[in-house]
Amino acid sequence: MDGGTTAGDAGPPLRLDGFPRAILHFDGDAFFAAVEQAADPALRGRPVVTGKERGIIACASYEAKARGVRRGIALGEARRLCPDLVVLPSDYETYSLFSQRMFDIARRFTPDVEAYSIDEGFAELTGLRRLYRASYAEIARRFQAAAEAELGLTVSIGLSLSKGLAKLASDFRKPRGFTAVAGRHLHRFLARCALSDVWGFGPNTVALLQRHGLRTALDFVRRPEAWAGRLLGKPGREIWRELRGDAVHAVQSGAPPLQASLSKGKTFAAPSADRDFVYAKLLRNVESAFIKLRRHGLRARTVTVALRRQDFGQASLGARLTRATAATHEAVPAVRALFDALYAAGVPYRATMVLLEELESDPMTQPELFDDPVRIEKMAEASRLIDRVNRRYGKHRLGLGTGLFLPMRRPAARDAAPRRKTDRLPGETERRRVGIPLLRLPV
Amino acid sequence: MKLKVSKDAINAGLQKVLSVVVARSTIPVLSNILFRAEDGKLWLTATDLDITVRVAVEAEVARDGGTTIPARTVAGVLRESPGPEVEIECGEDAVAEIRSGSAVFKLRGIVEDDFPPMPSFEEGPSYAVEASALRAMLQRTGYAASVDETREVLNGVVLAFRDGKLTAVATDGRRLALVEQEFEFSKEHEGEIILPSKTVAELIRILGDEGTVRIARAGSQVMFRTEGMALTSKLIDGTFPNYRQVIPAAAEMRIAIERELLLNAVRRVALLTSERSNSVKLAFGRNRLEISAASPDIGEASETLPVKHAGGEIAVSFNPDFIVEPLRNLVTDQVYIELSDEMNPGVIKTDDPFLYVIMPMRMS
């Protein structure tokens, strides 16, 4: 196909400035596997994968990737490819602790940090040069070095004028990559990026653009904005502008904006027909959902409960509360009634779910004439208190009493309990955790 | 059945029963209207099994009898009839023949026996009320009923016969409308009934300006009967919350204001409320009322009205619908707003026995 540009022939620059805006994207390299290697030096340099509990590779270390082991393939296949593979169960508790620390390190540099997922995030650096007496690239390098030194794992860095460009840049070189793209170099960078690398372009969009003779991200932004808009609509127009270095999307340092509903569901380690256990699991999901609801400053009006049986059949039932609420206690009577209507004795269940809908964010609330305002305020206060305690001591440390029906968990199937669960720190129990990772450091 | 009836009369009668008809029912006969000729009248009946409405139309009846005819079709036929009079004839086969002018229609119906019978009424407590007064009471309260199906007991209007008064009350839990009238009835007939909102709407439509309506209760059913009309309805079963307890005993300030002025201003300002921020603020100052609204994603609005108010300043936020609805359903020129603070319920009153309690919105 011709008409496309190549790296050597990028044509005139798209813009002439340096960093009118500086947005950093950081991405933990093979994060889950890297955390395992960071926590246990004996694993460093060895092919490590996680996902043992599911039988599918969740994450492969670079050593494993070099042997052809990829995310998503079956464990048996991975072992065939790499007989000396170290297979570990997923240890989300530890990954989450490392993730929090990675974001905490970023927040030392700037308050505007967006936790995009457990292993990647954005940071707004614009305007920080004077504060640190350093260039944006130098600030980014300091962050990269701090993360590596303090966490014992590597991150890849992309630094550019928009989130879309920063993400493209951090993917450009991996692992331990560092790619800073100033405005005046955009054209040369984009000429080396395939369409499929662009954040937001799926296989269908890429195929469509290729039919129009485009090969690289530069080919795309060389077309007029209106053309992109006509072909791909508003999202296409936004990607076009982001790739040209006009930041359309801000770094969202608060909690991400929420949609019209919120749900929480968990599959049990093993199916259970124990009424108290199933109900306790359900209420735990309700607690989690309301914690999330409050974190986003929302209230819910409708609660729907679903119970999934071992045979994968599912029954669900919803109820509308008299008013939208963020207080867990206010929803519990409705949840109890729904559960009683759904639960069938003697049937083994495998999962419970809760869905909150009709979410409201209006800071003005409409109190009820017939309500007891003191009782409602007490329930709201209880939720505020639970959040405060748990922020300090960990999620669900303080919760509804039904949580006591959640028994000490048996080791999961496939002998796949992560070490963090089996080797406890002094004073820890199955449920009471100390919020630090367990490291295997030679002393 | 064989009869002759004026086109206008039958169409007027039809209008009173049509809204009860179930458009698409799993029971086909519920989509039909029962035509019954007897006692020199044509009786039209429609039911959705909860409400049954029966009206009489003056007619020249040649032969008594009855049948049911699909409501939508017959309504169209009668509306479009060319002549001033309509003849309807029907035999055993449930095919009604309708003639008007030179037009002839044959409508396939369902036999009369399939139509649910009107509930029979043993004599229970009964009351006689002026039709126009009852309609006004329902009109001034009905809109305040809850539409939330999960709060069934609030999905209608309470009629309470107690202490020598007839009281109509409706509430959705956030505002409450109440109309009370002196009313004579025997002491042992004290009690209350909850009329479903649909019944209330039918009554407002059907009740005329003249005559008395007899209200008779039998178990979970109620019947409203006037000359030439009978409506029976299921009642809502349950205990209505104690509405007396939410009526504020006294208020710090009472402000008179022209009803239409307030209604129009609130409606205008409410244009800039949104689903996400649905409140208007009423800020009373010396001889002025400022009504304002702001939505982060739309914009803001404010309007100032002159009022007679010498007292202190107070600002209270309300759902605008909760102010607009009573004002729209009242007829008096002037209303009185009573407020104590921004947390406690406000009250709207008129010189009539009308009372409306409204819970303010609050910053959470």
User: What gap in Å lies between CA A266 and CA B55, rounded to an integer?
Assistant: 59
In b/e form, how buried is each residue of B244-262, taking b as 16+ CB within 10 angstroms? Answer: eebeeeebeeebebbbebb
A34-47 pLDDT tens trace: 999 999 989 999 99
A351: domain CATH number is 3.30.1490.100
Q: How far is A361 from chain B (nearest CA, A)?
A: 7
B277: chain A residues, CB-CB within 8 Å: 362-364
- Which of the listed residues B86, B114, B142 is the one where a domain comes to its end? B114
What is the pLDDT, as a whole number, of residue A270?
A: 83
Kindly list the residues from chain A whose CB atom is less than 8 angstroms away from the CB atom of residue B148.
320, 322
* Residue A290 falls inside a structural domain: yes
| Gyration radius of chain A's alpha carbons | 25
Instruction: Round to whole Å and give the CA distance between A27 and A11.
Output: 31
CA distance B345 to chain A (A): 8
Flag whether pLDDT at A5 surpasses 80.
no
Among B199, B242, B194, smallest CA distance to B217 is for B194
**Does the pLDDT value for residue A84 go beyond 70?**
yes
Residues forming beta bridges with residue B241, ordered by sequence position:
none
Contact between A124 and A162 under an 8 Å Cβ cutoff? The reply is no
Report chain A residues whose CB lies below 8 A from the CB of B150.
319-320, 322
My answer on whether B234 and B254 are in the same domain is no
Domain of residue B79, residue span: 2-114
Residues A101-137 have pLDDT tens digits of: 999 999 999 999 998 888 999 999 999 999 999 999 9
Cβ contact B174–A369 (<8 Å):
yes
Contact A166, A178 (CB under 8 A): no
Distance in Å, alpha carbon of A248 to nearest chain B alpha carbon: 18
List the 77-116 stretch of B: residues with Cβ below 8 A of A: none
Nearest beta carbon to residue B148 from set A320, A362, A363: A320
**Interchain pair A361, B276: CB under 8 A:** yes
Task: Calculate the dihedral angle through the C-alpha atoms of A386, A388, A389, A390, rounding to the nearest 10 degrees.
Answer: 80
Distance from CA of B277 to the nearest CA of A (A): 5
Q: How far is A200 from chain B (nearest CA, A)?
A: 27
Which residues of chain B are under the pLDDT cut of 70?
A: 123, 364
Q: Is the pLDDT of residue A413 over 60?
A: no
More confident residue, A19 or B183: A19
Say whether the peptide bond before residue A175 is cis (omega within 30 degrees of 0).
yes
Q: What DSSP element (H or E) covers A156? A: strand A155-160
- Could you report the predicted ipTM of this complex, rounded to two decimals? 0.78
Q: Which residues on chain B are in Cβ contact (under 8 Å) with A322?
A: 148, 150-151, 173
Full residue range of the structural domain in which residue A378 is found: 261-410
Q: Are residues B157 and B237 in the same domain?
A: yes
Confidence category of residue A1, pLDDT binned at 50, 70, 90: very low
Query: A299, A322, A361, A366: which to substitute to probe chain B, counting the most B Cβ within 10 Å?
Result: A366
Residue B143 lies in a domain: yes
**Domains: count for chain B:** 3
Domain count, chain A: 1
Using CA coordinates, name the residue in chain A closest to B345.
Answer: A369
Do B287 and B318 fall within a single domain? yes
Q: Are strands B221-226 and B229-234 parallel, antiparallel or unpaired?
A: antiparallel
Tell which B residues from 271 to 290 touch A, by Cβ distance under 8 Å. Answer: 276-279
Smallest Cβ distance to B246: which of A319, A365, A369?
A: A369
Name the residue of chain B whose CA is nearest to A359's CA: B276
User: CA–CA separation, A193 vs A212, rounded Å?
Assistant: 17
pLDDT of residue A257: 55
Q: Which of these three, B68, B92, B114, is where a domain ends? A: B114
- Inspect the interface and report whether the beta carbons of B362 and A361 lie closer than 8 Å: no
Residues of chain B found within 8 Å of residue A320, distances taken between Cβ atoms: 148, 150
Task: Identify the pLDDT of residue B345.
Answer: 93
> pLDDT-derived band of residue A3, with 50, 70 and 90 as boundaries?
very low
Predicted confidence (pLDDT) per residue in A199-235, tens digit:
999 899 999 999 999 999 999 999 999 999 999 999 9
pLDDT for A397 equals 83
A5 located within any domain: no
Question: What is the least distance, in Å, from the CA of B140 to any CA of chain A?
Answer: 19
Contacts of A299 in chain B (CB under 8 A): 364
Q: For the segment A331-389, what is each residue's pLDDT rounded down to a tens digit?
A: 999 999 999 999 999 899 999 999 999 888 877 888 889 888 788 889 999 999 999 99
Last residue within a domain, chosen from B228, B244, B260: B244
β-bridge mates for residue B277, sequence order: B274
Parallel/antiparallel/unpaired status of strands A155-160 and A178-180: parallel
Q: Which uninterrupted H or E stretch holds B157? A: strand B156-162
Same domain? B183 vs B145:
yes
pLDDT for the residue numbered B17: 95
Tokens of A72: 């998503």
- Contacts with B361 from chain A: Cβ below 8 Å: 364-367
Query: Per-residue pLDDT averaged across A45-64, rounded?
Result: 90
Note whether B208 and B229 are within 8 A (CB). Answer: no
3-state DSSP: chain B helix, strand, coil percent, rounded to 5?
25, 45, 30
The residues with which B304 forms a beta bridge, in sequence order, are B290
B138 located within any domain: yes
Q: Exposed, middle or buried: residue A312 (CB in 10 Å: 0-12, 13-18, 19+)? A: exposed
The answer to whether residue A173 sits within a structural domain is no
From B363, which residue of chain A is nearest by alpha-carbon distance?
Answer: A364
Per-residue pLDDT tens digits for B52-109: 999 999 999 999 999 999 999 999 999 999 989 999 999 888 999 999 999 999 999 9
CB contact under 8 A, B360 and A367: yes
Confidence (pLDDT) at B151: 86
In this structure, is residue A383 part of a structural domain?
Answer: yes
Q: Is residue A412 over pLDDT 50? A: no
| Assigned domain for B269 exists | yes
Tens-digit pLDDT profile for residues A246-295? 999 988 876 655 567 888 988 887 888 999 999 999 999 999 999 989 98
Which is nearest to A31 in space by CA: A167, A166, A198, A153? A153
Whose CA is closest to A122, among A164, A59, A75, A63? A164
Cβ atoms within 10 Å of B37's Cβ, excluding its own: 25
8 Å CB contact of A368 and B277: no
Tell me the C-alpha to C-alpha distance, in Å, between residue B122 and each of A229, B47, B125, B218, B228: 73, 20, 10, 6, 20
In DSSP terms, B32 is beta-bridged to B70
Assess if residue A180 is contained within a domain. no
Residue B123 has a pLDDT of: 67
| Same-domain check for residues B73 and B141 | no
**What are the respective helix, strand and coil percentages of chain A, to the nearest 5?**
40, 20, 40
Instruction: Concatenate the DSSP letters of all residues of B259-319 into one string.
Output: HHHHHHHHHHHGGG-BTTB--EEEEEETTEEEEEEEETTTEEEEEEEE-B--S--EEEEE-
Q: Which among B176, B345, B361 has CB closest to A364? A: B361
Retrieve residue B204's tokens: 């407002």
pLDDT in tens, A144-201: 999 999 999 999 999 999 999 999 999 999 999 999 999 999 999 999 999 999 999 9
- B361–A366: do the CB atoms touch at under 8 Å? yes
Q: Tell me the percentage of chain A whose pLDDT exceeds 90.
A: 63
pLDDT at A69 over 70: yes
What's the predicted TM-score (pTM) here? 0.62
**pLDDT computed for residue A8 by the predictor:** 57
The count of CB pairs under 8 A between chains A and B is 55
Within a domain: B119:
no
**Is residue A415 included in any domain, yes or no?**
no
Q: From the list B176, B278, B345, which residue is nearest A362 (CB)?
A: B278
Q: Which listed residue (A36, A53, A114, A120) is catalytic? A: A120
Q: What does the pLDDT read at residue A259?
A: 63
Task: Establish if A188 belongs to a structural domain.
Answer: no
The CATH number for B329's domain is: 3.10.150.10
Q: Is the pLDDT of residue A408 over 70?
A: no
The verdict on residue A340 lying in a domain is: yes
Q: Is A120 a known active-site residue?
A: yes
Tell me what pLDDT residue A422 has. Answer: 78
